[in-house]
Amino acid sequence: MKRIISAVLTAVVLTSLTVSCGMGDGNTDGERVELKVWGSQDDMQLLRTMCDEFAAANTDKEYTFSFGVVGESDAKKVFLDDPDAAADVFSFANDQLVDLVSAGALAQIGGSYKDTVESENVAGSVEAATVDGKLYAFPMTADNGYFLYYNKEVFATPPDTLNEILDACTDGQKFAMKLSDSWYLASFFLTAGCGFADDKTVNFNSSAGLAAARAMNELCKDSRYINFGADYDSSVVSGFGDGSVIAAVSGTWIAEKIANEIGIENLGATKLPKITIDGSERQMIGFAGYKLVGVNAASEHPADAIKLAAWLTNEENQLKRFEERRMGPSNINAAENDTVKSDVALAALAMQNEYSVSQNNVPSSYWTAAEGFGTDLVSGNVSDDRLQSMLATLSESINNPIS
């Protein structure tokens, strides 16, 4: 799944599925517990299977599940629009965590569950599920980020710097990165030392912000760079296919399509390149995104809901998600599975995650404001003397948005 900025078009489709945990042994004396579970349409079949297996493994109670189709990108809005109708257990993108916690929507995860999450999942995913030192969700995936794809026919070894990539562009070949997209654009600010504070403000109108803007502006004026715009991913795929693109920044979702164009033997993927900021070469920093499973703080069955959330995100089920949906595990053991490690895109993402930060503190006002900033830059018509005033406007729009 791509960055979690959604013009919310959500249809909540509720269906019911009754699972009797006594089906195997005739035991119907246990307490009956009904849990409402939300997940994406793509995850629904697998989610039903996992809940079946949960019921079969917990025969002390008789479980009934109802399912709602609510994608991770829409979960916060759907939940907060009608908390009384919200699920007991639901998946969501980690950039929604802070707002859900602020609204009192999520149960805190403690005790042995907290210990298990912290010991069995990669540190970044645990951080992404944590607010003020308190754990509020179970990590489910660690695959929502971006890295560098490259054509092995052009590069014998993984390119390490942006300059190396640009120097390899001949006969009109291009390096692609969608700087009109605020998700990708943030990497320049992050690499320059700008960040997103705990109070969800930014410091882009600064010397570091200016250095980042100059680096972006220089790239946007380079004939070897291409942005592509609205059809970015499909254009990247076709560009690799016809040879016009030799390297591009994107995520795991296009790996198979690129491989189909150039052959799996020519598909290269690695961490983002080093870029030159204010005269010094620095490793590019990106966003790391995670999918989490949370428990409704108002659930009538909190212990059962937490137990189910832990089940849905355990090592075995994270491996199932990889096998059936190619979703990258946050579970350390699952991520070390040989099949997972052999996945070219996930291996590159794992490399980049060492140089990535969570989106938890990114304010909602950032996305549209930064998109406008990037769109201006990729026009190639921005003079250097305009950059500081553009940064001032950008920072003001993010820090003091008009309601």
DSSP-assigned letter for residue 230 = G
> pLDDT, tens digit, for every residue of 263-289?
999 999 999 999 999 999 999 999 999
In angstroms, the CA 338 to CA 232 distance is 31
203 SS3 class: coil
For helices 255-262 and 344-353, give the axis angle rounded to 10 degrees: 130
Report if residue 212 sits inside a domain.
yes
**What pLDDT is attached to residue 198?**
83
Q: What is the mean pLDDT of residues 12-20?
A: 36
Say yes or no: 258 and 114 in one domain: no
pLDDT tens digits, one per residue of 152-177? 999 999 999 999 999 999 999 999 99
Instruction: Specify whether 349 is located in the same domain as 394.
Output: no
Residues near 231 by Cβ (< 8 Å), separated by ≥ 6? Answer: none
Assess contact for 295 and 305: CB atoms under 8 A. Answer: yes
- Is 6 inside a domain boundary? no
Q: Assess whether 300 and 178 both reside in one domain.
A: no
Read off the pLDDT of each residue in 86-114 and give the average, rounded to a whole number: 97
Looking at the 3D structure of the chain, how many domains does it have?
2
Give the pLDDT of residue 30: 73
Query: pLDDT-based confidence at 16, cuts 50/70/90?
Result: very low
Asked if 316 and 183 sit in the same domain, the reply is: no
The DSSP code sequence of 51-102 is HHHHHHH-TTEEEEEEEEE--GGGHHHHHHH-GGG--SEEEEEGGGHHHHHH
- 233 — pLDDT class (breaks 50, 70, 90): very high
**Total length of the chain:** 403
Residues in Cβ contact with 81 at an 8 Å cutoff, skipping those fewer than 6 apart: none
Residues 184 and 276 occupy one common structural domain? yes
DSSP string, 259-284: HHHH-GGGEEEESPPEEEETTEEEE-
Element (H, E) at 291: strand 286-295
Element (H, E) at 345: helix 344-353
Average pLDDT, the chain: 92
The alpha carbon torsion through 43, 45, 49, 55 (nearest 10 deg) reads 80
Q: Based on the fold, state whether residues 190 and 295 are members of the same structural domain.
A: no
Backbone angles phi, psi at 193, to 5 degrees: 110, 0
1: in domain: no
Q: What is the pLDDT of residue 35?
A: 99
Nearest to 134 by CA among 107, 95, 94: 107
> Residue 363 and residue 325: Cα distance in Å, rounded?
30
Structural domain includes residue 315: yes
pLDDT at 4: 43
3-class DSSP assignment, residue 153: coil
Q: Are residues 29 and 170 in the same domain?
A: no
Dump pLDDT digits (tens) for 310-366: 999 999 999 999 999 999 999 999 999 999 999 999 999 999 999 999 988 899 899
| Residue 1 pLDDT level (bands cut at 50, 70, 90) | very low
Please report the pLDDT score of residue 14 as a whole number.
39
Q: Is residue 140 part of a domain?
A: yes
- Between CA 319 and CA 27 the distance in angstroms is 31
Predicted local distance difference test score (pLDDT) of residue 51: 99
Output helix, strand, coil percentages for the chain, rounded to the nearest 5.
45, 20, 35
The token duo for 85 is: 């109708």
83's tokens: 């908390």
Give 25's pLDDT tier (boundaries 50, 70, 90): very low
Residue 98 near residue 363, CB atoms below 8 Å? no
pTM for the structure as a whole: 0.84
- CATH number at 264 reads 3.40.190.10
Question: Are residues 123 and 22 part of one domain?
Answer: yes
Q: What is the pLDDT of residue 29?
A: 54
β-pairing, 14-18 vs 61-69, is antiparallel
Say yes or no: 233 and 332 in one domain.
no
Looking at the structure, tell me whether residues 370 and 229 fall in a common domain: yes
Q: Which residue has the higher pLDDT, 1 or 297?
A: 297
Residues 92 and 152 in one domain: no
Residue 118 lies in a domain: yes
Tell me which residue range forms the domain holding 384: 145-287+360-399
**Percent of the chain's residues with pLDDT above 70:** 93
Q: Is residue 107 part of a domain?
A: yes
Domain co-membership, 95 together with 199? no
At residue 28, does pLDDT exceed 60? no
What's residue 3's pLDDT? 44
pLDDT interval class at 24 (50, 70, 90):
very low
What phi and psi values does residue 349 have, to the nearest 5 degrees?
-65, -40
Q: What percent of the chain has pLDDT over 90?
A: 89
pLDDT confidence of residue 299: 99
What is the residue type of 248?
A: A
Q: Is the pLDDT score of 49 beyond 90?
A: yes
Q: What phi-psi label fits residue 380: left (phi over 0), alpha (psi between -120 and 50 degrees) or beta?
A: left
Does residue 20 surpass a pLDDT of 80?
A: no
Tell me what pLDDT residue 402 has: 81
Does a structural domain hold residue 8? no
What does the block give as tokens for 133? Answer: 């030192």
Cβ neighbours of residue 172 closer than 8 Å, sequence gap 6 or more: 244
**pLDDT score recorded for residue 199:** 86
